[in-house]
Amino acid sequence: MGILNWGFRTNVKLHQAQGKDSLTLPLKNSPGETVQFSDFIKNEVKIIDTSKKLWLNPLLFNGVLQTLYYTSVDTTKKFLIYYGRELFTYKDKGICSLDWVIPKPESKEEFKKLHDQTFPEGFPKLHPRTRYMTEEELAARRAHNQDTDSTKPIVVILHGLSGGSHEPLIRNLADSINKNTEGWDTVVLNNRGCCRTLITSPKLFNALSTEDIREVLVDLKERYPSRPIYAVGFSFGACILANFLGDPNQDEKTRSLVKAACLIGCPWDLVDSSHHLDNSYSGIYLFNPALTTFLQKMVKNNYAALRSFDPELFTDELYRKFMAPKTTWQFDDVFTCSTAGFSDAYTYYREASPARRIGSIKTPTLILNSNDDPAVSVRLPWLEVSRNPALALVETDLGGHLSYAQSSGEFWSVLVVEEYFKSFSETIA
């Protein structure tokens, strides 16, 4: 990052196929009529205005400060969303947790009572304002075809490498959708081992955990066959979602699971992203150690279970190795590759980079990346995007990793996602 990436007024560029080269979408209120995806973005998602500068918080004048604000700001009194947790079991007996936004409880006492009644024995303590659902709530959520008439969208959120439903950015989005829509549902998919979810199988999540996403989305579509699913991924979650959307082996049924998608701060090239982290002061001293510490903690907290599943793989020798690294690539080289079947970290990174699959994405997808992102590669695939009818890439000079923090304390990236999904719901059939 150079001096040109400092400031608080950023240029906004838009890359996408134009005219008839753009995806044709059916209009909701005009049967038989259509609109090109490029025209939809230009005319309906007005928050994306390439003719004006985007103003961010002047005190956060580079990508490092923007990112540090996002990761460390005190939001204990903001975005006070409440979650009801559902444990989802994969076919391989591993679990993720689905945190559904629920109404604010009538009293703290009632919330605590339900929290204590539903808390599973032996599970980690939950984040504030989160409790497990009651049996009655779970039965209503899991009843397939129980809401066949509703066409209200479900927003599925995929978090970053060390994140979960408790993150300020995700709570901001969940809170905003909850307040500004009627009848929508928002659910955060917390990956295996993340956001205080136990690991119950030898498998961990990685950048190619697309089958995990597919299993959840298939189940949601079976429960709510008429409700469109909108999916948004942040950072590593965007990487997994992009790989899912661009999987060339998907059948049409799988492709239709997500009606519209957003990818925020996606690391398009994992090899370049690794070098990006390893060759900057902020990466060496701040972001790489923080990410690696999370990964080590996740495995440390679940090591007894992992060893019981596969004692030949999860040995004390391997444990000592993966507790030593201070970079994500060293951790991945020792541990992720052992569980995912790759010979080394960079073979895994090359195979798992979503840039490899960008041409196969058919879902109308809005992308947001910043050129001063200190955490992922800033060599953006604008040319590949411009050749895919279904994609639109918003490129900015400033904003950091995911943040785009404004003077109000809100994140512009959240406003972009919300307006895109709301406009899509109102305009596209």
Catalytic residue ranges: 235, 373, 401
Q: Which residue has the tokens 């339900």?
A: 114
Label residue 145 by pLDDT band (50, 70, 90). Answer: low
pLDDT in tens, 2-54: 445 788 899 999 999 999 999 999 999 999 999 999 999 999 999 999 999 99
**In terms of domains, do 193 and 323 share one?**
no
Residues 410 and 282 in one domain: no
Query: What average pLDDT does this structure show over 63-91?
Result: 91
71 within domain boundaries: yes
pLDDT tens figures, 279-294: 888 888 888 888 888 8
Number of domains comprising the chain: 2
| Per-residue pLDDT at 372 | 94
Show the CA angle centred on residue 100, arms to residues 212 and 110, nearest 5°: 140
Question: Of 348, 374, 389, which one is at a domain's C-terminal end?
Answer: 348
The candidate with the shortest Cα–Cα distance to 240, out of 281, 297, 194, 175, is: 194
Q: What is the pLDDT of residues 371-419, one digit of tens each?
A: 999 999 999 999 999 999 999 999 999 999 998 999 988 899 999 999 9
User: Which pLDDT belongs to residue 2?
Assistant: 45
pLDDT for position 181: 96
DSSP 380-405: --HHHHHT-TTEEEEEES--TTTT-B
Q: Do 164 and 294 have their domain in common?
A: no
Q: What is the pLDDT of residue 4?
A: 54
> What are the pLDDT digits (tens) for 336-346?
887 888 999 99
Tell me, yes or no, whether 292 lies in a domain.
Answer: yes
406: tokens are 């404004």
Inside any domain, residue 358 = no
Average pLDDT of the chain, as a whole number: 92
| Residue 59: predicted pLDDT | 93
CATH number at residue 391: 3.40.50.1820
Picking from 230, 96, 267, the residue whose alpha carbon sits closest to that of residue 165 is: 96
Tokens of 123: 């599970």
Q: What is the pLDDT of residues 223-264, one digit of tens each?
A: 999 999 999 999 999 999 999 999 988 888 888 999 999 999
* Strand-pair category, 9-10 with 82-89: unpaired
Q: Which domain holds residue 315?
A: 276-348
Count CB-CB contacts under 10 A for residue 310.
14
pLDDT band at 146 (very low <50, low <70, confident <90, very high): low
pLDDT at 1 over 50: no
- Portion of the chain with pLDDT greater than 70, in percent: 98
Q: Are residues 25 and 70 in the same domain?
A: yes
Question: What span, in angstroms and rounded, lies between the C-alpha atoms of 57 and 324?
Answer: 38
Q: pTM of the entire structure? A: 0.94
